[in-house]
Structures are given as structure tokens and as C-alpha cells.
């Protein structure tokens, strides 16, 4: 009887544990701390670091439109039920409108209770309005028709050339629907776009390795140019907005997350790199690629992520909504402008549209606020000069609330669509 002996297999060594300093969030955190110290010690040299932050933001925005196009098109083309596209879009828009309107209300309540502008007693004629005039030139009254027409690009190429996210989403949805209707004829193109999607996400991974450098440059410029001392006179406004933003995230988003069946805190820990990056760059767009990737990892379908996240960056600007109503009341209070209930209601109704109408424009929230104030002639737009110097500090939390809100919205719509089980989401978050 022969005995067969199996050749012993050599032990495969386990991969070495990832060192803590190799984590992106640790690197970005370190870069931010160094940038704050550098900006405080040497403001002139810190201001010169601005191109590092600008270059990183441009690298991200360079990729965003192609990534959204590939994600949305392949997602829709792979859907068997095209009615789901309309259903998901409708639910997302309903959610966006409810939460962003709530943010506008909260901003008004805080402004009327805290009165951050009381005591300034500013004479608008003494303010330097030249800087505000540049923003006022870009701000203009926009009707609902104007806003809807803006969604449609002049040409397909124009949507990508301008980098307008909403226009790119519109083109992508049309293209995806056409590919789905083409059936078998579109299969080679679907395969090509799926391959392109993988390459684009590889590009994102490469670019994100530069995130600590971009965060350092952006934060060093902010501290070097404006300085921590510039926060003093307007500390009440900044503190009011920051605290309101934090409470809005944990109370409103926390309640929504609890109802949807997941822990907001665990979700925030999952996107800690994106949170730090948005705070450093004061731009929520820098987090779009990796946020979409992480939402897919949590169990959301590619098509749903591709529809909800980019659309949310126009329609679900909760942080901008909080800022607009609070800042509008600050300007009125600082210039001793009394607003009647009817005037505040008018501001609110205009802000519902203008908080969405200037998306994709640099300094969008500031431009939208100028446009909103212009509908109440008694409020001197020149008062905006008071907060222009601290707008960079305000935009940190504006962008942060916008980004977190869109992440939460995507998970909520995925749960609403029953494409993501509660247990699966909780397991993935853990």
C-alpha cells in the first residue's frame, strides 16, 4: 500500500500592519497643524503657499466631471428598471428641499435669537465697497426659468469645459438613458466606459496622495493672509455660525440617520479624511471623488451614488443655506436696519432659490448672499464688506455641512429605495 505524502506548503507571511502615519487622515491632520503654526509665525511666506492649495483643487475638479459622467452613464445603462432613475431623482429632490429649507429656517432663528450683529452700529457710507462690487457684478436676480435653463448646456462639450456639475449630470442622464434604450448595440460602449471608470478612480487615488500638500497650502494661506487676530471683531458671528453648523449636523442629520437606521458618528468617522480636507481647502468639491467611492463601499449602488451626490451639490447646500440667512440678518443688525416680518419672509423666499442658483461659481455663497440682499433695498449691500475678510473661515463650515449633508442624503435615499439593508449598512460602517 502506497502512502501519498502532501508537500508541506510554506507559511505565507501576513502583510505588515499599516503604520499609523501612512493613513491619509493622519497626514492631512499633521499638514493642517503645521500650516496653522507656519501661517502664524511667518504670514508673508505662508501666503505664498496658496498655489499648492489651488493646484490640488484644480487637480480634483479636473477629474470630477469625467468621473461623474462615467459613474452616472454606466449606472443607468446597467439598470433594468429605468423608472428607478426618475424615482430616485424625485425622492432625492424632495429630501433636498425639505432639509435645505429647514437649514434656512434654523439660520433665521439663530440670527433673531443671538443677534450677532447688534452693537456694531456701522455707517455703510464709511465702508470700502470696492471688493464687494466685484461680487455684486456677478450676482443678479434669477428666476425659476433662468435656473432651469441653466441646467441645459449650450453644447455637450461646453458642459465639461465649464465644469458645471449640474450640466454634466443632465448630459450624463440623457446619455445613460440613450445607451440603455440601445440595448445590445451599446454593450461595447458600456464595457469601454466601465474600464474608463476604473482608470479614473485610479487617477483619484494618485491625486489624493497629494492631499496633505494641498491642505497645507490652503490652510497656510488662510492663516497667513487673514490671521487669527482678524477673527476678534466678528467672533460672535463666526462662533454663532460654527456652533449652529455643528448642532445642525448632530441634531438634524443625527435624527435623520437614526430614522434611516445607521449611526451618524460612525459615518463621520468613516469620512474623516474628507472632513479634514474640506476644512483645510474650504471647498466641498475636493471630497466628491472619495466620498462617492466610500458610499459605494457602504453598499449604495453606483447609479444611485452617481445621481444623488452630484445633484446634491447644487440642490442640497445645507451649509450655504444656514450661512445665507444668518449672514443676511447680521448685515441688517450691524447697520441698524430694522426688518419687518414681511421683509424677513421675502428674504427667506428669495434665499430658497439663490442658495442653489450660484453653485459652481467661485465664492458662490457670498455672491448668492449679495443677490439675496439686493431684493430688500433698505439693507445696504455695502454691509457685506464687514464679513468679506472672514468669509474664508465661514466657508470652511459651509462646505463641511454641504459635504456631510450629501453623504447622509445618499444613504437615506438608498435606504428609502430598499437597495441597502439596515444590517448591511451597520455592518459596513462598523
* Average pLDDT of span 282-295: 86
Most confident range (mean pLDDT) of 108-117, 277-286, 363-372 is 108-117
Whether residue 9 has pLDDT greater than 70: no
Position 269 confidence tier, pLDDT thresholds 50, 70, 90: very high
In a domain, 17, yes or no: no
pLDDT tens digit sequence for 239-262: 999 999 999 999 999 999 999 999
Whether residue 14 has pLDDT greater than 60: no
Please tell me the distance from the alpha carbon of residue 314 to that of residue 323, in angstroms, as a whole number.
15
- Write out the DSSP string of 229-298: GGGSTTHHHHHHHHHHHHHIIIIIIHHHHHHHTS-HHHHHHHTHHHHHHHHHHT-GGGGHHHHHHHHHHT
* Average pLDDT of span 256-276: 92
Please tell me the distance from the alpha carbon of residue 50 to that of residue 216, in angstroms, as a whole number.
9
Residue 367, pLDDT score: 66
Give buried/exposed letters for 357-392 (b at 16+ CB in 10 A, else e). bbbbeebbbbbbbbbbbbebeebbbbbbbbbbbbbb
In a domain, 1, yes or no: no
Question: How big is the chain, counted in residues?
Answer: 430
- Write out the DSSP string of 22-39: GSHHHHHHHHHHHHHHHH
pLDDT tens digit sequence for 345-393: 888 887 777 776 545 444 566 667 776 776 777 777 777 777 777 777 8
- Write out the DSSP string of 285-351: GGGHHHHHHHHHHTT--HHHHHHHHHHHHHH--HHHHHHHHHHHHHHHHHTT----HHHHHHHHHHH
CB 116 within 8 A of CB 331: no
In a domain, 6, yes or no: no
Residue 174, pLDDT score: 87
Whether residue 141 has pLDDT greater than 60: no
pLDDT tens digit sequence for 40-85: 888 888 889 888 888 888 888 888 888 888 888 887 776 666 677 7
In a domain, 9, yes or no: no
In a domain, 322, yes or no: yes
Which candidate, 301, 300, 290, places its Cα nearest to that of 403? 290
Which candidate, 295, 298, 297, places its Cα nearest to that of 307? 295
In a domain, 4, yes or no: no
Residue 36, pLDDT score: 87
In a domain, 10, yes or no: no
Give percent above pLDDT 70 in the chain. 82
CATH number of domain containing 228: 1.10.3860.10
Count of Cβ atoms closer than 10 Å to residue 336 Cβ:
13
CB 405 within 8 A of CB 309: no
Residue 358, pLDDT score: 47
Position 308 confidence tier, pLDDT thresholds 50, 70, 90: confident
Please tell me the distance from the alpha carbon of residue 283 to that of residue 352, in angstroms, as a whole number.
21
Residue 125, pLDDT score: 67
* Average pLDDT of span 125-142: 56
Report the phi/psi class of residue 380: left, alpha or beta, with left for phi > 0 and alpha for psi in -120 to 50.
Answer: beta
The number of folded domains in the chain is 1
In a domain, 5, yes or no: no
Count of Cβ atoms closer than 10 Å to residue 422 Cβ:
11
Count of Cβ atoms closer than 10 Å to residue 234 Cβ:
22
Specify the range with the lowest mean pLDDT, choosing from 1-15, 190-204, 223-237: 1-15
Instruction: Name residue, grid cell 506548503.
Output: 9
Helices 288-297 & 302-315 angle (0-180, nearest 10):
140
Supply the mean pLDDT for the chain.
Answer: 81
Q: Domain limits at 414?
A: 22-429
Between 233 and 221, the higher pLDDT residue: 221
Q: Is 223 helix (H, G, I), strand (E, B) or coil?
A: helix
Residue 110, pLDDT score: 92
Amino acid at each position: 500500500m502506497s502512502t501519498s505524502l502532501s508537500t508541506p506548503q510554506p507559511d505565507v507571511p501576513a502583510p505588515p500592519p499599516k503604520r499609523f502615519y501612512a493613513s491619509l487622515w493622519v497626514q492631512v491632520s499633521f499638514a493642517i497643524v503645521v500650516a496653522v503654526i507656519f501661517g502664524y509665525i511667518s504670514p508673508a511666506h505662508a501666503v505664498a503657499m496658496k498655489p499648492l492649495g489651488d493646484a490640488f483643487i484644480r487637480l480634483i475638479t479636473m477629474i470630477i466631471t469625467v468621473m461623474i459622467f462615467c459613474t452616472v452613464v454606466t449606472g443607468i445603462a446597467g439598470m433594468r428598471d429605468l423608472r428607478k432613475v426618475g424615482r430616485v431623482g424625485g425622492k432625492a429632490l424632495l429630501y433636498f428641499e425639505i432639509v435645505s429649507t429647514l437649514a434656512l429656517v434654523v439660520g433665521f432663528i439663530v440670527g433673531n435669537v443671538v443677534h450677532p450683529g447688534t452693537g456694531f452700529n456701522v455707517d455703510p457710507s464709511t465702508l470700502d465697497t470696492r471688493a464687494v462690487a466685484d461680487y455684486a457684478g456677478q450676482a443678479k436676480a434669477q428666476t425659476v426659468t433662468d435656473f432651469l435653463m441653466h441646467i441645459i448646456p449650450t453644447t455637450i462639450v461646453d458642459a465639461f469645459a465649464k465644469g458645471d456639475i449640474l450640466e454634466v449630470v443632465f448630459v450624463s442622464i440623457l446619455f445613460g438613458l440613450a445607451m440603455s434604450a440601445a440595448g445590445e448595440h451599446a454593450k461595447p460602449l458600456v464595457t469601454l466606459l466601465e474600464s474608463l471608470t476604473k482608470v479614473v478612480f485610479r487617477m483619484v487615488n494618485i491625486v489624493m496622495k497629494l492631499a496633505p500638500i494641498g491642505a497645507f497650502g490652503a490652510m497656510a494661506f488662510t492663516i497667513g493672509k487673514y490671521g487669527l487676530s482678524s477673527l476678534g471683531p466678528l467672533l460672535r458671528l463666526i462662533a454663532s455660525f460654527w456652533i449652529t453648523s455643528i448642532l445642525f449636523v448632530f441634531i438634524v442629520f443625527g435624527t435623520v440617520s437614526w430614522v434611516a437606521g445607521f449611526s451618524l458618528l460612525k459615518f463621520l468617522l468613516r469620512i474623516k479624511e474628507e472632513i479634514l480636507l474640506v476644512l483645510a481647502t474650504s471647498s466641498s468639491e475636493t471630497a466628491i471623488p472619495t466620498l462617492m467611492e466610500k458610499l459605494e463601499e457602504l453598499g449604495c449602488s453606483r447609479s444611485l451614488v452617481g445621481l444623488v451626490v452630484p445633484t446634491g451639490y447644487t440642490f442640497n447646500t445645507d451649509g450655504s443655506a444656514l450661512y445665507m440667512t444668518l449672514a443676511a440678518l447680521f448685515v441688517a443688525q450691524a447697520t441698524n436696519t430694522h426688518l419687518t416680518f414681511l421683509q424677513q419672509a421675502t428674504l427667506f423666499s428669495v434665499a430658497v432659490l439663490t442658495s442653489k442658483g450660484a453653485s459652481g461659481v467661485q465664492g458662490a455663497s457670498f455672491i448668492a448672499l449679495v443677490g439675496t440682499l439686493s431684493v430688500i433695498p433698505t439693507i445696504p449691500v455695502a454691509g457685506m464688506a464687514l464679513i468679506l475678510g472672514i468669509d474664508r473661515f465661514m466657508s470652511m463650515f459651509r462646505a463641511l455641512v454641504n459635504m456631510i449633508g450629501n453623504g447622509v442624503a445618499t444613504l437615506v435615499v438608498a435606504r428609502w429605495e430598499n437597495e441597502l439593508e439596515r444590517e448591511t449598512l451597520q455592518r459596513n460602517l462598523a
